[in-house]
Amino acid sequence: MTKKLLIIIVAAIAVVVILGSISWFIREKRESIQDLDLSIQNIRFLRFITLPGNLLPSAMELEIEVDAYNPNDVDIELYDLEYQIQINDIFVGNGSLSGDEKVKIPENESRIITILYMANLTTLPSVAITTIQNLIQNEESHWGITGIAYVETPLGKEKFTFSRQYPPSENQG
């Protein structure tokens, strides 16, 4: 074997090892980013909105505080959030946090994200609207939020599904 061929083989092995190491590092980082934790800190009912001439409210305004904790060793940026809201398992609507409202979450830190949500109640049957009103007035409601969070990381964009209850259930962290 010539010296030139030996150098080419060693260089090829070095390139394969380096590319393999980089690939492993990126895969490990992507897997660690999966630990993003979203939890509901508070849901506050703000008001019902009733249009003139209607007996039942046509909309409901909520303020939702979501705690986003990043246990990873890289910063992430939440750039979109799509969600559905339920009250005592009654669907009340969809919402989103647009890409214009990016939230940076540094490594090993939390950020509270406040979402103002307007639920359009006109698409619900009147019995559901009455039930929602009674649950809120009697303070016997539990809220659910499910959805998808999109985050931007130094390693690219990632998508996470989540489902949380408020107040938290015993088996939810």
Please name which of 58, 95, 59, 61 lies closest in space to residue 80, comparing C-alpha atoms.
95
Asked if residue 73 and residue 28 are part of one domain, the reply reads: no
State how far the alpha carbon of 77 is from the alpha carbons of 55, 61, 92, 113, 170, in Å: 43, 27, 28, 12, 29
Q: Are residues 95 and 70 in the same domain?
A: yes
Are residues 55 and 24 both part of a single domain? no
The answer as to whether 75 is a domain residue is: yes
- Are 77 and 29 found together in one domain? no
Decide if 171 is inside a domain: no
CA–CA dist 105, 35 (Å, integer): 13
Q: Does the residue 173 lie in any domain?
A: no
Pairing of strands 109-120, 59-70: antiparallel
pTM: 0.67
Q: 98 with 22, same domain?
A: no
- At residue 33, does pLDDT exceed 80? no
Instruction: Verify that 46 and 25 share a domain, yes or no.
Output: no
Segments forming the whole domain that contains residue 120: 36-166
Q: What is the pLDDT of residues 69-125, one digit of tens each?
A: 888 877 888 778 888 888 888 888 888 876 566 788 888 999 898 888 888 888 777
> Could you tell me if residue 43 is inside a domain?
yes
Tens of pLDDT, residue by residue over 146-166, are 888 887 766 677 788 888 888
Domain match, 116 and 75 both: yes
The answer on 25 and 106 residing in a single domain is no
- Do 82 and 136 have their domain in common? yes
Amino acid identity, residue 124? L
CA dist., res. 163 & res. 148, Å (int): 9
Domain count, the chain: 2
Q: Are residues 113 and 161 in the same domain?
A: yes
Q: 66 lies in a domain?
A: yes
Q: Where are the alpha helices (DSSP H) in the chain?
A: 3-33, 126-137
CA distance 38 to 107: 15
CA distance 37 to 66: 10
- Cα–Cα distance, 63 to 44 (Å, whole number): 5
